[in-house]
Structure 1
Amino acid sequence: MYQVLLVDDETSVVDALAIRIPWQELGIDQVFKAYSAYEAIEWFQAENIDLVITDIRMPGMTGLELIGKLKALKSRTKCVLLTGFAEFEYAKQALQSEASDYLLKPVSNEDLIATVRRLVEELAEEWEEVSSFQRASYTLKENLPLLRANLLTDLLGGFKMNTDSLSEKLHLLEIPFRPGDGYCMLLLRMEDEFLKYENYGIDLIEYAVFNMAEEIFGADFHVWFGKDTHAYLVLLIKVDSNSAQALDSGRALLESKAAELQSSVKQYLKGTVTVLLSNQSLFPSGVAEVYDTMLLEMRKIARGHNGFLKTVEVQANKVYIQSLQSLYEPPMFSQLLEAGRWEEAGEKLDQIFAELSVKWGDSVEHINEVYYTIISAYNYIAHKSGKQLVDIIGLKQMELELPQRRFMDRFREWALSGLNAIRDELDRENRNANTAIIKQAQQFMEERLSDDVSLQAIANHVYLNPGYLSKLYKLETGENISDYLYRLRMDKSAFYLKNSNHKIQEICELLGYQNTSYFIKMFKKHFGVTPQDYRNSL
């Protein structure tokens, strides 16, 4: 559905068009009304307007000038000019101003409906082209390497995804891995010689390493590349057969090619890499576990002991003491707090405590691990918001002693209580901040009535996007900025008429109206009498 803006300094024309045309049937979801070009610009900045129907002859700014300004803001907008003058010069100017059509007033319903229907169809065709499958496919192919690497990073981090969704994503990204496939993991650490490179330089080096790996492994294996959060390079290598003989020969071949990659990097890129190669696992359930084991082994090889090539045996049945999976799988608890996703943060706590109760309820270390992670996240979000945590949740709630942590219900209650206190405090602060912004905007309008009080100027003053400011103002006050500005001008005009000897034209200028006749029309619409009659009545 689309949105239309009707613009005319004759209020009766705008109001009539809004009522008499079956906009919904034409695919128009919402109709906005503006009674001047300046008000039209404010609506245009605040809303996603697709179609503008405007008069040519308006005080202060013509429809032709208005179209020029609107096209500069959003070139895809369709504009229709209405005028009572049929001179060729107007038609010529209309075409030069990129108007989509030109209709003579009084325009018939049939002509306007036909024009709107045609322009809506044009809009639909243009957006269909923009969002077309071909263009989306082209964009997807352009970004395939990055998207593939991001998916691998998610899997390494333990991101949960059901089998169907994962298979669909793998197919879309043209990654030749499927659930149940055998694979080996290769973890590469760029050593000291490469640390001298700046970000751009190291990116090129890493790209060269990936190209070498593709050349070396690609003839015998499918390879999936990525980079982890520690700046290690990660390769998943698909193994096609699960037979013992194939595994032995495949392992020997992989080790040989890993050594070849290491040698090629040394020869052509003048640096060393430490390489770890895992044994075979099944995709995707073991990816995060294999990766964690590889990281553990990589930490054992200190930097400076360069050029190692080591095969790591990841034993599927071996029991490890592990951290809580739900505590560290993305999205992290601190990330949910930072994004203000309070409901999801509460669900995250439920997951953490469910796992803690079932698996590690008797482990003091795991209980402490959860406690310090949560209190650290609360401190982080409080300090980032410019506050002390103790001021938000209180001194008694600040800490929970170990004996109390061992009672899961009490521990969980403490965590949720802290979450609710932080949410309430930050929501209150946001409301106060919004109130301050509204007051700033209103003060700016009151002090600058005779100057530029456009939506853009007000937004610049409070350092916000015009569209966001417009929606925030309506949410907080229940009225549009243009409504407040109109009411403010009318109140001020009544004040000047009562308490000053200013002429009508002078009052018009003090209120920021550029056309006296337009001011008189708006005053009469509001008070029911002209400004002079209003003054005389006093």
Structure 2
Amino acid sequence: MIEVLLVDDETYVTESIAATIPWAELGVQAIYQAASPSEALRIMEEQSIDILVTDIRMPEMNGLQLIEQVTERWPDTRCLLLTGHSDFEYAKKAIQLQAVDYLLKPLDDNAFMNSLSSCIESLKEEWERADKYNQLVYTMKSDYNVLRQNLLHELLLGRPGSSASAAAKLNQYEVKVRIDDSALLMAVQLGKHFRGMDHQSVSLMEYAIGNIAEEIFAAPYRVWHGKAPHDCLAIIVSADSDGDSSVFRKERIRALGLQFQQKVMDYLKGSIAIVFSEWFVFPQELAGMYRSVLAAMYRLHQEEASLLFMEEVPERQPSAAKLVEDLYRPPTLVQLLESGQWDGAAVKLHALFDALASSHATREQLYEVFLSVSNAYLYIANKQGIDLYRANSAGVNMLIDPSMMQSPDKLKAWSEDMLSRLRSERYDHEKYNKKHIIKQVQELVMSDLGGETSVKTIADKVFLHPVYLSKIYKSETGESLGDYIIRMRMEKAVYMLKSTNKKIYEITSELGYQNPQYFSKIFKKYYGMTPNEYRDQ
């Protein structure tokens, strides 16, 4: 909304204008009045004045001088002049001071309102242009964040393109680190406090940690930070290679790193682990350094808020392999799953994660566990025709939730959840397959109740062992397959006795029985009478 200031040493003039003009219709929110230029300047300092309407002739300072000061201090304010003197010099001076209009007293309300409306429209157009420009700048800056992130990934993964291209992008994306700088890479791993947060919260924490790094490693260093491709933060600190050699001293970097860790703890209430690379030439040697610090970071225990230079990271101890050796001790997880020993698989996983929790596993070990367990799950799912992605599309892809590599608890929860889903899917899959087999068996029996129909002949047709087929049929229907075949024959016998004139021996032969006396015995067992008695009743 618009705010207007009226200035005249004759107060009845400003009071009259304030009372007679329909300000609300013009979109004016507030009207202020001043009896002198000094009072007007005080109001300008306190309020957001959009339009200044001032008389020219005033005792301590004339209106032209007032406009000159206002234009200098508040250049976006529109200025209108009122005077009873139609002097060309005044008008010429007003134009030089970029006054919007020059109106004579006594004031014509319509002329004043037209001039005021022009000012308001001009202001709104200017505000709209400013909004569009600010939105464009905001969008550009947002795009730059994405572009900077993509460029960082390309450089870390060793796909920089030409030096000229990289230099152009660094400059265009407003990255402070420069080509051929002497640089140091920090791999930063978030501690336990951050792992329980959702993805959006973790992203905000990572952004805040990067900003803290920029504050701590300020001049003479240049800083560029972003999310690395392998679930840690990458912070590049660079300086002029021909500058003060003290900036490259390990003691100085270590002190700043400790300060960095403390600031993160103070402001974000969580710990971070840091691995520093050696000094290198940016970006030519960046990818190699990234691989080295990443390998070093993977050897750190998850709960350590350590700060180490790459050469200080301990080598993997032979004893570390024992933590995950239970994965490979028979019966393996694949063998347990393949044989349907779900409880045994659950016990094996439980023992494995108990060992990892008690020994403070490294990311390297957690990654090995993930690969082994996920491969076992995928192998069983593919072998048995189970759609594991339908069961849990997110759960089979570590890249969707890479924080599992930071927490034994999260990896354990994932492993147990996926085991439960796999077990459920296999049960459903087997249940569907069994129903399909039962339907197929019943169709075969009903289509042919002759002498060749038996449990063995049906089992041969569905490619199953007769004993296994009988077991499935009994478990799914509550009736043995042999009893079902006999029941179907008896029901067909009843129909033929009622609806045909066929002899008993003819019916006996058609139903696959060789002996009419045996057929009569079976029929009497079902219906309490012989076939002849049933037909005669």
Choose between structure 1 and 2 for higher RCO, CA contacts under 8 A separated by at least 6 residues: 1
TM-score (norm 1): 0.38
- Structure showing greater radius of gyration is 2
**Normalized against structure 2, the TM-score is what?**
0.38
